[in-house]
Homo-oligomer: A and B are copies of this chain.
Amino acid sequence: MANILIIGGSDAGISAALRAREIDDTTNVTMLVADAFPNYSICGLPFYLSGEVIDWHHLAHRTLGEIQETGINVELNTRALQINPQQHTVLIQKPDNSRELLQYDRLVIGTGAEPIRPTIPGLDHRGVFLLHSMEDSFAVADFIASHKPERALIIGAGYIGLEMADALHHQRIAVTVVEQLPSALPTVDRELGNALGSYIASHGVEVKTGVRIQEIRREGDVLRITGDGGFDQRVDMVLVVVGVKPVTELATGAGIATGQRGAIVVDRSMATNFDDIYAAGDCVVTYHCLLHADTYMPLGTTAHKQGRVAGENAAGGQARYGGSLGTQVVKVFDWAVARTGLRDHEAKSAGYHPVTVEFSTWDHKAYYPGAHRLTFRVTGDKITGQLLGAQLMGHWQGAVAKRIDIFAMALYHQMSVADILEVDLSYTPPLGSPWDAVQMAADHWQKHRQDA
């Protein structure tokens, strides 16, 4: 009977634990959770802070009871302090602060990521928050409830920054979002980011791009934020959401190798450089199918898939991580913005010959009520015709997220852009077109690939 020890109780850890038990229910699986919140949807935190999720308990993918019913031993408020790969032990600190040495046959590390702390003076002032964990969110929620802030500044217009702009606006707080790069949501092309910025601004959220924040000062009850180009604002709270970095002290302390952005190096079986130590989720590098190389891509979807592979292999299986396509989507107000694959500059760096063509059409036949405009940016290889990536933006009811998934399926199978037109996709006038919008976008790319 193998002993599998799992460090971390978020997406990767829980996926590994569940899969190990599924593969072999004689396996003894213990999961160490540093806080009291196993298997919580941290992607759901903005919707808790918006007030749309009334009870934070609902953010749990599974309750503690449901996890324990699968036969997983869950140790809450228990921290791993040290891994000894030679001895196959982990030193832990228990809720009562006592220490213990746990033996393992196979170890899975799922220590996740933590917010990047930019070098801006003033981050420690009261009312300034970094957002990542459940505890962080409670602090923000408490602050909103007790201080009733009227104005907030969000530093960073990435996924979380924009979701939080929507969330705080939903709480009737006046919001400014500041991004140092030239457009909102810099993970998509500037054309889409600018249109998105205007859309967000039309809801009354101020969006300032190309502004680097220099300092946060406290002036009485108010936080004063200054930045490039004379930026100067007084607000009641500040959220800093400029990305995350892998949590790897435990791993590096044990001699586990790291790579891209300091994340733990794993192969496609999710094994580290040590026998019997696997790692998964936001703390590891992620193999990218189109780059044929490792990248750092901390996402819930990826963490689940990698955790499942790690758990299966820890239980003696032979699973292999399928790789990331870089698929992502975010909803801001009523728009969804999605991408999969590579953008032009990413594809160029990887040695492709990309051409990106923009195309706009209706999500369904315009004669049927409620049609929404969709804007596509399709990237393909000018020479081979291979699909390299797609970006899509429009009203979420236009099935933006699942239309990007059609492109993701095409990327997974290394399709040419032209071949997308061959596939028998569904159609009814209220929900699509005889050639679906994704096929029209592909056809448009095909016709204009030589223009660029």
Q: Which residues of A contact B (CB under 8 A)?
A: 11, 41, 43-44, 47, 52-53, 58-59, 61, 289, 299-305, 308, 322-331, 336, 338, 340, 365-369, 396-397, 399-406, 408-410, 412-413, 419, 421-432, 434-436
Contacts and interface: CB of A to CB of B under 8 A. Distances in A.
Contacts of A425: 301, 327, 405, 408
Q: A-B pairs with the 9 shortest C-beta distances? A: A322-B422, A409-B409, A402-B402, A329-B426, A58-B367, A325-B424, A399-B402, A401-B431, A399-B399
B47 A367 contact: yes
A328 B47 CA distance: 35
A210 B161 CA distance: 56
A52 B58 CA distance: 39
Contacts of A431: 329, 331, 336, 396, 400-402
A329 B430 CA distance: 10
Contact of A367 (B41, B399, B421): B41
A47 B330 contact: no
7 contacts: A53-B367, A308-B421, A322-B419, A322-B422, A322-B423, A331-B430, A331-B431
B424 A340 contact: yes
A408 B425 CA distance: 6
Given A44-B368, A52-B369, A406-B406, A434 B300 contact: yes
- Oligomeric state, in number of copies? 2
A64 B451 CA distance: 29
Contacts of A436: 405
Nearest to A11: B434
A156 to B, nearest CB: 17
Contact of A424 (B305, B366, B367): B305
Contacts of A340: 424, 426
| Central interface residue in A404, A413, A425, A436, by most chain B CB within 10 Å | A425
Given A409-B423, A412-B424, 16 more contacts: A41-B429, A44-B429, A52-B368, A58-B367, A301-B427, A305-B421, A308-B421, A322-B419, A322-B424, A325-B423, A327-B424, A327-B425, A328-B426, A399-B401, A401-B432, A406-B406
Contacts of A308: 421
Given A304-B434, A399-B401, A428 B58 contact: no
A434 B301 CA distance: 5
Nearest to A397: B397
A392 to B, nearest CB: 10
Contacts of A404: 426
A127 B412 CA distance: 53
B428 A401 contact: yes
Given A47-B430, A406-B409, A302 B424 contact: yes
Contacts of A432: 329, 401-402
Contacts of A59: 367
A446 B59 CA distance: 27
Contacts of A368: 44, 47, 52-53
Give the interface centre of A11, A53, A399 by most chain B CB atoms within 10 Å: A399
A362 B447 CA distance: 39
Contacts of A327: 424-426
A299 to B, nearest CB: 8
Contacts of A413: 409, 413
A429 B43 contact: yes
A412 B405 contact: no
Q: Which of A403, A419, A421, A426 has the most CB of B within 10 A?
A: A426
Contacts of A401: 399, 426-428, 431-432
Nearest to A423: B412
A142 B201 CA distance: 48
> Quick one: which of A324, A328, A402 has the most chain B CB within 10 A?
A402
B426 A405 contact: yes
